[in-house]
Structure 1
Amino acid sequence: MALITRLSRLFQADFHAVLDRIEEPDIQLKQAIREMQIELQQNEQRLALLQHEAEQLSNLASDCKNKIVAFDEELDICFAAKKEDLARDLIKRKLETTRQFESTERQIATIHSSTKKLESGIEEYRDQLENMNQKLELLVTDIDSHPLSGHFSSVGAGVRAEDIEIAFLREKQLRSPS
């Protein structure tokens, strides 16, 4: 089964290679540029979402920090008043908030790491897109300066009117009944 799959992929790749040679390269390049632009936009949207999520998590971490400070102040008051039952409840809430804070900080670190990778990937993708645009400009300029160079370059090249007339007479002679 794996052999059939590999052969199928090989034939498909060869077929695509033949089609690529037949089709006009400028159209393929334009399509590749469009696909790259779409991919770049999607990556920029992902980056914006990650940045928004990091901002929300930072706000949550800040809230957790403030709650922990408030719990410490309340614990001081509880211990001063010798209210150990109330202090235990506050310690439980403080521990939960501390764990939430630590989890949030880990998430923020992960998002910052992902953001940096995505930013560098976007920058590389922009460079590649710029290269593709330059290649397209060169290709379009080349096609414009040589309109028939890439298309039918050997057809009609060097054919004189006399050659056409001689070939016409030969064809006519071959087809006429003698």
Structure 2
Amino acid sequence: MALINRISRLFRADLHAVLDRIEEPDLLLKQAIREMESAYAEQSQRSRLLKHELAQLNSRLQGWQEKLAGMDQELDICFQSDQESLARQLIRKKLELAQFAEQQQRRRDSLHQTLAELSRRQDENRTRLESLRQKARLLASDAAPDREHNSGGPEPIRVEEADVEVAFLREKQRRSQS
């Protein structure tokens, strides 16, 4: 039984080694980088959309606050003119608008939180992406000498005639001094 287990482990190990060579880690790393770049671009797009929505919401909230202030002036006029029924209607509208504005402020706060979380995740992903890019550059630089070495052999060494003459004169001078 032990012999069968050992043989099966040997076959599995050989199979894993073959699969590791087939997978080509540099191609898998490049694919992972492309996928992360795509995800990062999607996050950036979502972040821009949320920022745009937040700016629009802030603008609308400011408009509603101005409208509420205008309603206060209208209420003053209604009370000065003893128009209580008109004042009641205006108060109803003011309460509805105030509740709606409060609801939109909660939405704005939620958007701020979502945007902060997205920004944090985006920073983490940017760091991971840069790390993968560095690994890919290292892998490419490690693979480059192997390709050069295998492609055409060593470059021929060239010695210029002037280098030979200078070396000859040095050797001659050194030998004459001794």
TM-score by length of 2: 0.71
Distance 1:70 1:60, change over 3 A: same
Unmatched tracts of structure 1, length 5 or more:
1-14, 150-178
Aligned to 1:140: 140
Paired residue type of 1:111 = L
Aligned to 1:155: none
Q: Contact 1:64 / 1:100 at 8 angstroms: preserved in 2?
A: no
CA distance in 2, matches of 1:73, 1:16: 80
1:40-55 matches, within 5 Å, as 40-55=40-55
Paired residue type of 1:40 = Y
Percent pairwise identity: 42
CA distance in 2, matches of 1:61, 1:138: 52
Q: Does 1:123 align with 2:114?
A: no
| Runs of 4+ with >2 A deviation | 15-22, 146-149
Aligned to 1:110: 110
TM-superposed deviation, 1:148: 9.7
Aligned-pair Cα RMSD in Å:
2.2
Distance 1:20 1:85, change over 3 A: farther
For 1:102-135, what per-residue CA distance to the aligned partner results, in whole angstroms no more than 9, with x for missing partners?
0110010000001011111111111111000000
Aligned to 1:38: 38
Aligned to 2:62: 62
Paired residue type of 1:31 = Q
Distance 1:35 1:145, change over 3 A: same
CA distance in 1, matches of 2:28, 2:123: 23
For 1:34-76, what per-residue CA distance to the aligned partner results, in whole angstroms no more than 9, with x for missing partners?
0000000000000001001111111111111011101111001
Distance 1:130 1:16, change over 3 A: farther
Q: Contact 1:54 / 1:111 at 8 angstroms: preserved in 2?
A: yes
CA distance in 2, matches of 1:16, 1:69: 74
Aligned to 1:77: 77
Structure of higher RCO (CA pairs closer than 8 Å, 6+ residues apart): 2
| Higher share in helix | 2
Paired residue type of 2:69 = V
Aligned to 1:88: 88
TM-superposed deviation, 1:146: 2.3
Paired residue type of 1:142 = D
Distance 1:147 1:65, change over 3 A: same
TM-score by length of 1: 0.71
For 1:81-121, what per-residue CA distance to the aligned partner results, in whole angstroms no more than 9, with x for missing partners?
11001001100110111011101100100000010111111
Paired residue type of 1:113 = Q
Paired residue type of 2:88 = R
Unmatched tracts of structure 2, length 5 or more:
1-14, 150-178
